[in-house]
């Protein structure tokens, strides 16, 4: 591949349940260059993988504990756009042109939690207690 290319592969997308359940060290693809990386010690990190100057590069996006799947996909998408525009997203971030995926606010986290609970058919404690 030429420099500045991201491999386009059809890959089964990760889910929040699969991310929480995964524990074996390794790289788990989400697609479009985004990977869940599980270290030998068990820490889980988001990594955007791309090719630059015929070399494979990994760009850390943050910890699973701090960065949601949705935020990781958005950050990878932004980095992918930079690669497509001929810019190295690692250098761009160092220069301040690209920010790490942001840690969600409490409100964002709560809204995501409620949305996930509603989607899974599970009730929150507020709903169980008459809301």
- Per residue in 29-81, pLDDT (tens digit) is 999 999 999 999 999 999 999 999 999 999 999 999 999 999 999 999 999 99
- In what helix (H) or strand (E) does residue 45 lie, and over which residues does it extend? strand 44-52
CA pair distance 52, 83, nearest whole angstrom: 8
Taking the CA atoms of residue 78, residue 81, residue 82 and residue 85 in that order, the dihedral angle to the nearest 10 degrees is -160
* Structural domains for the chain: 16-121 (3.30.160.390)
CA pair distance 103, 64, nearest whole angstrom: 10
- Using alpha carbons, select from 97, 103, 70, 101 the residue that is nearest to residue 85: 97
pTM above the 0.75 mark? no
């Amino acid at each position: 591949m030429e420099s500045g290319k991201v491999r386009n592969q059809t890959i089964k997308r990760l889910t929040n349940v699969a991310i929480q359940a995964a524990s074996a060290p390794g790289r788990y693809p989400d697609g479009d260059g985004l990977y869940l990386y599980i270290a030998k010690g068990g820490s889980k990190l988001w990594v955007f993988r791309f090719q630059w100057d015929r070399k494979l590069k990994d760009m850390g996006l943050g910890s699973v504990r701090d960065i949601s799947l949705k935020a990781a996909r958005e950050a990878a998408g932004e980095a992918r756009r930079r690669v497509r525009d001929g810019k190295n997203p690692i250098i761009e971030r160092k220069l301040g042109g690209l920010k790490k995926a942001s840690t969600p606010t409490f409100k964002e986290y709560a809204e995501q939690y409620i949305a996930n609970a509603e989607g899974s058919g599970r009730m929150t404690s507020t709903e169980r207690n008459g809301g």
